[in-house]
Structure 1
Amino acid sequence: MALSRGTAARLALPGLLVAGGAAALAFGLHLAFPVVPQLTAAVGLGMVAGQVPAVQRLLDGALKPGIAVAARRLLRIGIVLLGLKLSLVDIAGLGGETIVVIVLVVTITFLATLWFGKLLGLPGTQPILVAAGFSICGASAVGAMSAVTRSKDDDTATPIALVTLCGTLAIFVLPVLRIPLGLSTEDFGVWVGLSVHDVGQVVATAQIAGPAALAAAVVVKLTRVLTLAPMVAVVGLVERRRDARNAALPAGHPDIVDRPATKRPPIVPLFIVGFILAMLARTVVVPLLDDTASGAVLEVADVVQTILFSLALFALGSNIRFRALARTGWRALIVGLASWALIAALSLGAVYLLA
């Protein structure tokens, strides 16, 4: 029986309050240790909370409805607001050659990771979620892709853990390699933007080399984010065709792919449409405002997006169980590390090529 909106809101409130408190704590950790991005701190707190037996019982009980709302609905609203960071004018300023290279790096990493994940036999939808997270934009890509693949929470938790681990390692590893690799400040920023996963991790890594590196990294990274919409649309189309093939086969046929008992996903989910509209607003509408108004709009949107992502990533992190990962996650770890190495190598080659 469907719950009324009021009842659903009351059930969700405890979990949302806990996620909000965790987001505030993550902000405090970021202030105390600026090298740690707030979103990385949020998912880390969730991962720690998910290992405590007493907290696990609460997460699986009274807190579960609110945690589910944060991990899904709030994440999708945050993805919509992410579009306000993207200006097509800034992306066009990169030049056609750079844009083509970015698309190639994303596509090759996605397909290679998907293939390797299936080769190692990752369960469920983990191969495609790991591929999306490492090639496009980390946890937000995992969340977006899980919507069209109708992934279980268990399948989503492992890719979130992997992109958090590798993205955090990048903050410390990539700056050390800049001088030995002979990268200029701008080239280092391009490398970071091409290879690091979440936007917050990109900022934390690139700012170490200075403002020029940070500016280059953010533009390149946001261009990678732009590939999220077409990737999700393609996967949505594949999922619908798979459902249609299943429906045409007789019951019990060995070629039927087991799918969750839910309605077919749209080719382009509504929140991805919102993401595209927000991007267009950033390109067309925001520049029409005066500097004060446009700055205020973008600043408020950025703060709200960060808050929503912090709540969502704490919720996603809290679904991770290290004991289960220790039994079954070694293959996913191999795939994640291989994908991280691949995108770093491809990106470095692209930087040398563009230079």
Structure 2
Amino acid sequence: MMINTLRQQQTIPEKMRFFLGIAFTFFIALLGYFLAMVPGFSLTGQLASAILIAIVYRQVAGYPEWLRKGITFSSKKILRFAIILYGIKLNVSLILQDGLPILLFGALVITFAILSSVWLSKVMKANTSITFLLGAGTGICGAAAIAAIAPIVESKEEDTAIGVGIIALFGTVFSIGYTILRPFLPLTESQYGVWSGISLHEVAHVALAAAPGGETALAMGLLAKLGRVFLLVPVCFLFMYLMKRKNAGTKQKVAFPWFLIGFILMSLAGTYLLGPIIPFSESATNVVTEITTWCLTAAMVGLGLSVSLKDLKDKALKPMAIITIVSVVLSIFTFFIVKWFY
């Protein structure tokens, strides 16, 4: 029966299999959307839920080879498209006018998160690739940062998927922890917002944690977080330069991350063109945000299908321990910085 199924799959035109592969990733993204509505899974969100479904599917049914081209398109091309769209979240004008001190905080956070993660990976002999990606995700902007940096540093697809899944889970846990601790913390609304923005993993996590602190906390939190998103571009170019130096003298070339140019252009368009010149409502922005989420989720499904449970067990445990340490220390460290200097 399996042979007959394989024969039937081979009779499907290649172009049709390509589009079916893309549709397959969006279908699992849809399943992740519904799974995220289930109590318990609602804490992890659509992205992590979809990756979990993809990993389970891989273990049970194996990798759908006949759909590989479409799945690969999602995990590479649609991923870059999602990162470009992500740029609309960044208000360049706001950062340049009011967020320069917060940019310095952000640079400090990114440096600490990446360097401490890499150092601990050597001390604990953990998987360097996953730990580095987790450090970048923790320091900058979660899954989007991992997705942007992974191709530059030539990380394996399974390492990228594992990193994204872990960062989504940890960001959710920490943001919930912040909301629980908030009433007991000696911070003003503004300080609490800045603390959330410079220490939590993703924009959604910052919004989740800062919103209960009031409008001021939410506004300051998002400003601080967008400062770190702003730094994604220079960090990516820095690692592209380091990879070129590493590969100097070899035939291996580092591909230029053209999608970052799209990210910059989208940020500039969202700041100075869409709204100020071209009518673009908040609801339209929300639509773009939703499209970004779905594209990013479908892309992560493509990566998740390449993960085996054995790899997850062998590779992920030590990086998870490291990112726990880094995230806790980062939260404490930034708490005192905000308390004393902001």
Q: Same fold (TM over 0.5)?
A: yes
What's the offset of the Cα at 1:298?
2.5
Equivalent residues in 2 for 1:1-355, closer than 5 Å: 9-28=15-34, 36=42, 40-52=45-57, 55-57=60-62, 59-123=63-127, 125-246=129-250, 264-266=253-255, 268-289=256-277, 292-295=279-282, 297-355=284-342
Q: Distance in 2 between matches of 1:10 and 1:124?
A: 38
Q: Which moved more, 1:28-37 or 1:134-143?
A: 28-37
* Matched position secondary structure for 1:147: coil
Taking the aligned partners of 1:9 and 1:217, their CA distance within structure 2 comes to 46
1:15 Cα deviation after fit:
3.0
Residue 89 of structure 1: how far off its partner (Å):
1.8
How far apart are residue 212 of structure 1 and its match?
3.0
- Report the alpha carbon displacement of residue 52 of structure 1 after superposing the two structures with TM: 4.4
d(CA) in 2 for partners of 1:186, 1:281: 29
Mapped to 2, the partners of 1:146 and 1:196 lie a distance apart of: 20
State the shift of 1:344 in Å.
Answer: 1.4
CA distance, structure 1, for counterparts of residue 122 and residue 77 of structure 2: 29
- Mapped to 2, the partners of 1:156 and 1:53 lie a distance apart of 16
Partner letter of residue 101 of structure 1? F
Evaluate the alpha carbon distance shift between residue 54 and residue 107 of structure 1 in structure 2; reply closer, same or farther with a 3 A threshold: closer
Unaligned runs of 5+ in 1: 1-5, 248-262
Give the drift of 1:213.
2.5
* Distance across 2 between alignment mates of 1:299 and 1:34: 26
Partners of 1:105 and 1:346 within 8 A in 2: no
Distance in 2 of aligned mates of 1:25 and 1:95: 38
* Shift in Å, 1:154: 2.7
Tell me how far apart the structure 1 counterparts of residues 14 and 128 of structure 2 sit (CA, whole Å). 29
Residue 7 of structure 2: aligned partner: none
CA positional deviation for 1:53:
5.9
SS in 2 for 1:293: coil
Q: 1:31 to 1:242 in 2, by over 3 A?
A: same
**Partner Cα distance (1:204, 1:276) in 2:** 26
Contact 1:36–1:204 (Cα < 8 Å) also in 2? no
**In 2, Cα distance between equivalents of 1:243 and 1:201:** 36
Aligned partner letter, 1:327: D
Write out per-residue CA displacement over residues 108-141 of structure 1, whole angstroms, 9 at most, x where no aligned residue: 2222222222333333533431221111111111
**C-alpha contact (below 8 Å) 2:197/2:222 kept by paired residues:** yes
Q: Equivalents in 1 of 2:174, 2:282: separation in Å?
A: 30
Structure 1: distance between partners of 2:151 and 2:230: 18
Distance in 1 between the 2:123 and 2:59 partners?
A: 37
Q: How far 1:25 moved relative to its partner?
A: 3.6
2:4 aligned residue: none
Partners of 1:53 and 1:73 in 2: CA distance: 21
Structure 1, residues 236-258: CA drift from partner, whole Å, max 9, x if none? 111111111445xxxxxxxxxxx
Percent of aligned pairs sharing the same letter: 25
Instruction: Return the alpha-carbon distance in structure 2 between the equivalents of residues 35 and 126 of structure 1.
Output: 23
TM-score, L = length of structure 2? 0.85
Using the alignment, how far apart are the partners of 2:22 and 2:156 within structure 1?
20
Q: Secondary structure of the equivalent of 2:280?
A: helix
Secondary structure of 1:215 counterpart: helix
Across the aligned residues of Structure 1 and Structure 2, the Cα RMSD in angstroms comes to: 2.8
- Unaligned 5+ residue runs, structure 2? 1-11
- Take 1:35 and 1:124, find their aligned partners in 2: how far apart are those partners? 29
Preserved CA contact (<8 Å) 1:236 1:265: yes
The residue type equivalent to 2:110 in the other structure is: V
Counterpart CA distance in 1 for 2:41 and 2:335 is 23
CA distance in 1, matches of 2:222, 2:133: 23
Greater mean alpha carbon deviation, residues 23-32 or residues 296-305: 23-32
